[in-house]
Structure 1
Amino acid sequence: MFFRVMYEIFVILLVITYAIVVFADPASHPRLTEEFMNQADVILISFLAAEYVIRLWLAKDKKKFVISNWFDLVAMIPLDHYFYLARFMRILRLVRILRASPFLWSMLKSKPMQRVIGVVTLIMLWSSGAIYLLEAGINENIVHFGDALWWSIVTTTTVGYGDISPVTTGGRIMATILMVTGIGTLGALTANFAHHWTEFQEGKGQTPEEHAHAEKKMRALHQLQQVEQLTQKEYESMMKTIEELYRERNGEER
């Protein structure tokens, strides 16, 4: 369990680091040269390739594994020397890193977490757009939309660096609304993250495949309990589910 947790922490840090590199502006960061980016891509592709080979080796049905994980192979294609594809391929690899973490991927596929992330994103974009319209051209610290987005993040997290603050009445009203709503939504986000992390440490977290398999088992058990009341169609559905579970257990191709 210790190594599993350390692996998840490593992947989380890798996601954060690579996201910063991918979305950073090279013009503002002289060290982010094309040579540096290519070296980072080589290291990342090597890690993803090793992780893919290990999972392929452990898979019972190799053919089914390759077909169902085609995205992993696409993300490892080294097309970065084509400049117009470099950013696109790096975004694909960022998604691929997320898939390498059972904890992160299952958390992002969770309906409650998706709703919370959606609400937080909506509030951030709405407040950023509003403050940009109210303050741009008046507030010397808000020149681009990125400045407004940075202000929204700082205000929502209650960090309050003070580098950007609204100067208009409308901007201050907007800031007040964001302070009140932002604290609640951010609290919901961190609470969901903590809940998933606790379940993961206790071994209760499930990958999407494990969750789907468990649902099939529960459906089959429920139908078996009511076997005397089943119609012909329901009986055939039950037998099909049992057959799928049997094939999954024995590593056979559907």
Structure 2
Amino acid sequence: MTAESPLQRRNTREAVRFYLLDHRTWLGKVIDIALLVLNLVFVAIFVAETYPLSSPVVRVLWNAEVAIAVVFLAEYLLRLYGAENRLAEFLDVYTLIDLIAVLPTLLVVLWPGAATVASVGFLRVIRVVRVLRFYRFTRDAEFFFGTISDNALRALKLLLTVLVLLFVSAGLFYSAEHAANPEVATFGDAFYYVVVALSTVGFGDIVPVTVAGRWVTVASILAAIIVLPWQASKIVREWSRKGKVDVTCPNCGLSSHDRDASHCKACGHIIYQEFDSRE
């Protein structure tokens, strides 16, 4: 058996990197769709496990969770293998999330004794970050079904941020409260509480009884106050730029002027912007 040449290794790495990032070829689309579906199932398993289930169903869900975790671990290793700068890829936020998302499952597989704490404590908290993997699909405007506009991508990120905020808050609240609060028996109860709390309605039928639950509520409300308006402002700012043209004033540097502007609205300098009155 001949050893693989450096050129062959480089070509293999480039092929791996290409197909993990590609959205246009049939193989790239299959990988994209498969990872998206597996991510949905991975998150759904976390939610389903908070409900009372029969032993056979629990066993099937666990086997599915392990299988998906192995696939995601393989994806993680392939991303590191194919990266041009492996250290930068390893430290990338999305890559770190990919690794953290599968750690609880892999820990139980490699260390069976951890199964006794798999549904409580820090392991459940870590499993909440699975939903953050969806952000990887919004890194650029290209998807398996085509390319969307920048405004549509920003709106998608805003919607994803809302869903992630609700999901993570509900997961953390459930982890903090379910053992001590009889009103928080399932993930659905926690999700209901978070929606009511973040909408400032506060029916009062579910209230936190632990210190951790109270701090999760405070942090969730502060995050909603800060993060959502910040992302929404980006969309509004882009919408306000419609009808503008990207012309920079040579005097003060102001860009984005009205289509019919002949003078800079900041300093009055003549910018000689072309404008067709027929438009």
Task: Tell me the TM-score range normalised by the shorter chain.
Answer: 0.3 to 0.5
Higher RCO (Cα < 8 Å, 6 or more apart): 1
How high is the TM-score relative to the length of structure 1?
A: 0.38
The structure with more helix, counted as a fraction of residues: 1
TM-score by length of 2: 0.35
